């Protein structure tokens, strides 16, 4: 077990994706405007309505005494939901009654209106507001807009206006992975509440994977009896007192699944189940080994990444899948069933004489055609049960039946190809829509995948490629955010990853393309943050925190302090120990300060503080001689894969986090001032090598060890050549999981120098990782 006081993070998808994503954060930040700027007449509503007309007239103020009226069961249901949403978003607690009064708030359901399947009209003047729609779903979305107009700092004041609104896309989704880490029903319900409040209408539920099978199947009880439990890697999988195995388990009964489906349906959200085929199947094969391709017994995996375990190609396995789908169909009323199809590494099929024989029997020319055969068989089965198949874009390879729908995750190219061929498409590219990627470069980010997908990039994503012919654009059903949970152990971490980026997804899915404006969105976002707070949603703090870049002048005893914030809101600061308020000095240029200095800074918009607490930086001469792994670069070289890896223990609570290039574990302090520096002190930890990357795994490089347990080398220049200094590594870390090593630098080293730290030797299944680097003066 490792312990340290600071919190930080990173993780992985695959080598190729990491390389392609490396420049994304910088590109998105470069395109972002300087800060928030509201458009004329903008309403503090997310997503922005399609059409808004301000009209002459006085505001109408809603209080607890305001009458709320609706006639008919459906309209009354929506009115009651409005009252609940208004209260939970920070507004007054109003009461719903039946009646036709012309004052107050009225909800009218009128099938003759031409508002479409999800559209609505909202009218307000000095006497009150009327929401009307042709469908209950449309009326509900009108209620959500009205609730937002009355909260988020509006003090219940409703301006005179006309809104005619309807969504741009019919699929506005969120995928939640409950297979890697498990969420409670209450947690899922809060996510559904937040989705509904922002007019998202599809909940894609990822229920099976290598690490766990989470859905009860009556016909195959071992799927949850065996497949829903794994033993976490390292310390997290052992009882700290007895040393006994400590399994991580969880699944949803069929009654619980019905409860989630009903809860979502009441909020006009369809629930799409996902059963992964033919890959991501380890948990199922562990439960029923006859489903696998190899004879080696398997267990649900405690590692992350891409694995070779595939379902075999026997008719009995097809029957198993169809039997599972029968129970899935009985549970889930949605039209679509997701069958995965992604990351199915074909090594086991290629090596299996039986699979190769089956391919010849079935006329499959290669392994992709074999996968296509499985997909086509499942598509036929689903079609016979009045369902439609949807899968990740790999299902395009080897051929695809015309009725199948493609979810494009490896960029938008697969979606463009599928739509051009006449398939319906949901756009969910890893480059823009993956909520488990980091959202800022802050050291306070929790674990996530490599690189960053900041709010600006999420908001800037356009689901309809310009290259798609106009007569094929209707095949783009919409977009979806994906929340994979390899490193999302807690619900607090899940909320951090989803909010506020999910608000950007919601606006892209609902608002017309011409109504989307990022600077205006940023001006509306603080009102949404107030609603999140009222709803008990712990949105990410990092986009609203202040970051510091400091440079010291050691001889003068001063430091230059440059402040920044990811979203461009105003920064106010103090250096005299006083609390930071909107009246504190506004940051406009780097600060020149004598050392030591206690700097506090916070972001504000219209006088509202956007983070829970001010950022604090205690800068001293000694602190400027130390850098943690988050503040070091990675050494140059081919095939980089920077990860933010979480330690393996403790089983509960916070864990140490380490930044490491898994293919070349080496850390770089660029242009370190080594004048007067005698040595370098390194604090390092050791963590499990608990992930696999299939065909990318051989790309990892290891500097050969020279002694029994390897060395810690200090290098200069481009992190190559003969080490400047070297220290032998011990066989194991200390009782706290760390070691501290000191290496003397050559006295001839002067001025600004690159200093690189690497650990030699292939130490898998564990690896050394740098925690902190300190320059020690003579």
447-485 pLDDT, tens digit per residue, is 887 678 999 999 999 999 999 999 999 999 999 999 999
One-letter-per-residue 3-state SS of 609-677: ECCCCCEEEEECCCHHHEEEHHHCEECCCCCCCEEEEECCCCCCCCCCEEEEECCCCEEEEEEEECCCE
β-strand partners of 551: 560
Position 656 scores a pLDDT of: 87
Task: Please tell me the distance from the alpha carbon of residue 369 to that of residue 372, in angstroms, as a whole number.
Answer: 5
What is the per-residue pLDDT across 680-735, written as a single tens digit (0 to 9) for each?
A: 999 999 998 887 878 887 777 888 999 999 999 999 999 999 999 999 999 999 98
Biggest CA pair distance of the chain: 89
Task: Please tell me the distance from the alpha carbon of residue 684 to that of residue 738, in angstroms, as a whole number.
Answer: 6
Q: Which two tokens stand for residue 569?
A: 């809101």
Determine how many CB atoms are found less than 10 A away from the CB of residue 570: 18
Position 699 scores a pLDDT of: 78
Q: Which two tokens stand for residue 263?
A: 């809860």
Determine how many CB atoms are found less than 10 A away from the CB of residue 220: 19
Position 697 scores a pLDDT of: 76
Q: Which two tokens stand for residue 760?
A: 């030699």
Domain 51-165: CATH architecture, name and number where available = 2-Layer Sandwich (3.30)
Q: Which two tokens stand for residue 116?
A: 């479409």
Omega of the bond prior to 465 within 30 degrees of 0, cis?
A: no
Position 340 scores a pLDDT of: 97
Position 450 scores a pLDDT of: 67
Task: Please tell me the distance from the alpha carbon of residue 434 to that of residue 13, in angstroms, as a whole number.
Answer: 11
Q: What spatial distance separates the first Cα and last Cα of the chain, rounded to whole Å?
A: 34
Query: Whose structure tokens read 């017309």?
Result: 512
- Write the DSSP symbol of residue 592: E
Instruction: Divide the 778 residues of the chain into consecutive groups of 10 and give the mean pLDDT of each group.
Output: 35 34 39 75 97 95 97 97 98 91 93 97 97 98 98 96 98 98 98 98 98 98 98 88 94 98 98 97 98 96 92 98 98 98 96 97 96 96 97 91 93 96 97 95 85 94 97 98 94 97 98 97 98 98 96 85 96 97 98 96 97 96 92 83 82 85 90 94 91 79 91 95 96 91 95 95 90 96
Position 402 scores a pLDDT of: 85
- Catalytic status, residue 403: no
Tell whether domain 171-535 is in CATH 3.20.20.80: yes
Domain 627-777 in this protein, CATH class? mainly beta
> Strands 711-715 and 752-759: what pairing?
antiparallel
Position 735 scores a pLDDT of: 85
- Considering 197, 274, 343, 486, which one is annotated as catalytic? 343
- Write the DSSP symbol of residue 292: B
Task: Please tell me the distance from the alpha carbon of residue 768 to that of residue 658, in angstroms, as a whole number.
Answer: 10
Task: Please tell me the distance from the alpha carbon of residue 92 to that of residue 90, in angstroms, as a whole number.
Answer: 7
Position 638 scores a pLDDT of: 67
Q: Which of 503, 481, 494 is nearest to 447 (CA)?
A: 494
Q: Which of 523, 690, 704, 644 is nearest to 38 (CA)?
A: 523
């Amino acid at each position: 077990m490792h312990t340290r006081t600071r919190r930080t993070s990173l993780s992985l998808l695959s080598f190729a994706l990491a390389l392609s994503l490396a420049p994304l954060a910088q590109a998105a930040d470069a395109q972002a405007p300087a800060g928030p700027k509201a458009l004329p007449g903008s309403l503090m509503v997310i997503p922005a309505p399609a059409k808004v007309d301000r009209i002459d007239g006085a505001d109408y103020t809603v209080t607890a005494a305001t009458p709320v009226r609706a006639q008919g069961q459906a309209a009354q249901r929506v009115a009651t939901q409005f009252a609940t949403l208004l209260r939970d978003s920070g507004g007054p607690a109003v009461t719903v009654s039946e009646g036709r009064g012309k004052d107050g708030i009225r909800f009218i359901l009128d099938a003759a209106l031409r508002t479409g399947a999800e559209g609505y009209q909202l009218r307000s003047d000095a006497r009150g507001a009327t929401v009307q729609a042709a469908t209950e779903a449309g009326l509900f979305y009108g209620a959500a807009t009205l609730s937002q107009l009355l909260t988020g700092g509006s003090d219940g004041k409703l301006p005179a206006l006309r809104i005619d609104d309807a969504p741009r896309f019919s699929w506005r989704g969120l995928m939640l992975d409950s297979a890697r880490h498990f969420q409670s029903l209450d947690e899922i319900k809060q996510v559904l509440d937040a989705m509904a409040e922002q007019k998202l209408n599809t909940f894609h539920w990822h229920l099976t994977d290598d690490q766990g099978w989470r859905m009860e199947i009556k016909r195959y009880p071992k799927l949850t009896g065996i497949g829903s439990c794994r033993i976490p890697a390292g310390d997290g999988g052992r009882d700290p007192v007895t040393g006994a195995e400590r399994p991580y388990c969880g699944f949803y009964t069929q009654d619980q699944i019905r409860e989630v489906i009903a809860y979502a349906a009441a909020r006009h959200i369809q629930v799409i189940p996902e059963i992964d085929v033919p890959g991501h199947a380890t948990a199922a094969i562990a439960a029923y080994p006859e489903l696998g391709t190899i004879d080696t017994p398997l267990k649900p995996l405690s590692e992350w990444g891409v694995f070779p375990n595939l379902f075999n190609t026997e008719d009995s396995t097809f029957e198993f899948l169809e039997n599972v789908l029968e129970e899935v169909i009985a549970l889930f009323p949605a039209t679509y069933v997701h069958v995965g199809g992604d990351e199915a590494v074909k090594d086991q099929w290629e090596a299996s004489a039986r699979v190769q024989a089956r391919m010849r029997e079935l006329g499959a020319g290669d392994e992709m055609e074999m996968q296509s055969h499985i997909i086509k068989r499942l598509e036929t089965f689903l079609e016979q049960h009045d369902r439609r198949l949807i899968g990740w874009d790999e299902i395009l390879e080897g051929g695809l039946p015309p009725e199948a729908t493609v979810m494009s995750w490896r960029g938008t190219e697969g979606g463009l190809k599928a739509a051009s061929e006449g398939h319906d498409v949901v756009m969910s590219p890893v480059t823009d829509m993956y909520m488990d990627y980091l959202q800022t470069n802050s050291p306070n980010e929790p674990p996530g995948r490599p690189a960053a997908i900041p709010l600006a990039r999420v908001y800037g994503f356009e689901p309809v490629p310009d290259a798609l012919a106009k007569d094929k654009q209707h095949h783009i059903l919409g977009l979806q955010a994906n929340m994979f949970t390899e490193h999302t152990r807690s619900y607090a971490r899940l909320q951090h990853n989803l909010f506020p980026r999910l608000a950007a997804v919601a606006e892209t899915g609902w608002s017309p393309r011409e109504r989307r404006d990022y600077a205006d969105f940023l001006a509306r976002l603080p009102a949404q943050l107030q609603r999140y707070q009222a709803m008990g949603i712990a949105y990410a703090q990092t986009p609203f925190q202040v970051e510091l870049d400091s440079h010291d002048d050691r001889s003068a005893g001063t430091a230059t302090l440059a402040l920044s914030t990811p979203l461009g809101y105003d920064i106010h600061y103090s250096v005299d120990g006083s609390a930071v308020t909107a009246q504190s000095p506004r940051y406009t240029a780097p600060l020149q300060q004598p050392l030591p200095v206690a700097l506090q800074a916070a972001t504000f918009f219209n006088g509202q503080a956007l983070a829970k607490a001010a950022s604090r930086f205690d800068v001293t001469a000694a602190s400027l001689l130390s850098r943690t792994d988050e503040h070091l670069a990675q050494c140059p070289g081919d095939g980089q894969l920077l990860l933010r890896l979480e330690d393996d223990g403790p089983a509960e609570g916070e864990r140490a986090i380490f930044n490491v290039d898994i293919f070349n574990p080496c850390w770089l302090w660029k242009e370190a001032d080594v004048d007067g520096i005698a040595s370098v002190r390194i604090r390092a930890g050791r963590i499990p090598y608990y992930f696999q990357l299939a065909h990318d795994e051989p790309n990892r490089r290891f500097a050969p060890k020279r002694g029994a347990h390897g060395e810690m080398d200090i290098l200069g220049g481009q992190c190559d050549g003969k080490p400047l200094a070297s220290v032998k590594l011990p066989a194991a870390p200390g009782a706290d999981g760390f070691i501290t090593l000191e290496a003397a630098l050559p006295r001839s080293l002067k001025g600004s120098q690159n200093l690189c730290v690497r650990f030699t030797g292939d130490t898998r299944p564990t690896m050394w990782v740098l925690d902190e680097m300190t320059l020690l003066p003579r």
